[in-house]
Structure 1
Amino acid sequence: MAELEAVQTAVARAESELRRASVTVRSKDRAVEATVGHQGELTALRFLDGKYRTMAAGELAASVLEATERARTQMSRQVMETFRPFTQPSSSVPELTGVDVDWAEIFGSDVLEEPYPAQARRTRDRLHDEINDDAEDEDRHV
């Protein structure tokens, strides 16, 4: 019973800590900074160094999406790491086998992947190149 109470107290403490948690990430082009809260909600968005003034709409949108998605993924991983001890069986009470959590169901399968695997990086680079090409085309038609 004491072990169960200790786990309940630890879960409550983890939940309380996560309620105050946030993650801030800058886009790779360093034009945008996005902050998300513990539920992945966007809580702040900053445009850095006036770079947005020279960016095409598609480039800016891509930067916002990239920073926001990276922040959400980092927050999801922080939540997973915080609750990981509760998914492990108890060493002192064999009956407490740990909670089975389907992280992919909660956060989506991307959270289980390594940050920026080679394939995703190639796809993202190709998309960024296409956005740049579109921006150059827009400049020519204006």
Structure 2
Amino acid sequence: MSGSAYEQRLAEAMAELDATRAAVARTEAELAGASVTSRSKDRSVEVTVGPQGELTGLRFLEDRYRTMAAGQLAASVLEAAVEARGLMARQVMDAFEPFTRPSAGVPELTGVDVDWARIFGSGVLEDGPSRDSGRRRRDDIGDEITEDPEEEHHHG
């Protein structure tokens, strides 16, 4: 490769790298104000989380919490929080996904490797990056707190 061709290739790579940095900064700025709200399956609790999965809001809906056992209320709060954190993680991953792909114009720029578990913590994405992972976990929590009166009769 001649000196001028090398310089041209380097200039293209630097321009694309600068454009990527600017796009990442714009994406980070957009996500800084993002939030996701989720309700528990029993509709007694509403939780809002910020872009890093941090709890930013908690509402108890329609006085249902007044008749709930403490454990049931806690489970509803956790259920809504897990769901909201999973949805927010997916939103962040979708926003940054284009930066993980190789460059079409400069093949040497292979895209950014992102350790999502390090960013979000190990529990948020434990079911993998599927869009309904939060829903599966939420249903599991519901299964744990639901007591089946029929089951008690079969054991007794």
TM-score, with structure 1 as normaliser: 0.82
Query: CA 1:17–1:113 in 2, change beyond 3 Å: closer, same or farther?
Result: closer
SS in 2 for 1:110: coil
Aligned to 2:146: 129
Question: After alignment, is 9-18 or 105-114 more displaced?
Answer: 105-114
- Provide the aligned length of Structure 1 versus Structure 2: 132
Aligned to 2:76, the other structure's residue is in SS state helix
Please identify the structure whose Cα radius of gyration is greater.
2
Tell me, which stretches of 5 or more residues in structure 1 are unaligned? 134-142
Aligned equivalents of 2:144, 2:75: Cα separation in 1: 9
Q: TM-score, normalization: structure 2?
A: 0.76
Instruction: Identify which of 104, 121, 137 aligns with 1:91.
Output: 104
Q: Using the alignment, how far apart are the partners of 1:120 and 1:20 within structure 2?
A: 26
Return closer, same or farther for 1:80/1:122 CA change in 2, 3 Å cut-off: closer
- In structure 1, what is the equivalent of residue 128 of structure 2? 112
CA-atom RMSD in angstroms: 2.3
Are the equivalent residues in 1 in contact too, given 2:82–2:138 (CA < 8 A)? Answer: no
Q: Which shifted more, 39-48 or 109-118?
A: 109-118
| Aligned-partner Cα distance in 2 for 1:22–1:122 | 22
Report what 1:136 is aligned to: none
Residues 51 and 118 (structure 1), Cα distance of their counterparts in 2 relative to 1, 3 Å cut: closer
Q: Given that residues 90 and 96 in structure 1 are in contact (C-alpha distance below 8 angstroms), is that contact kept between their aligned partners in structure 2?
A: yes
1:105 Cα shift?
3.5
Match of 2:21 in 1: 8
Return the offset for 1:103.
Answer: 1.7
After superposition, give the CA deviation of every residue in 1:93-116 in whole Å (9 maximum; x if it has no partner): 111100111223333242625325
Structure 2 gaps of 5+ residues are 1-13, 150-156
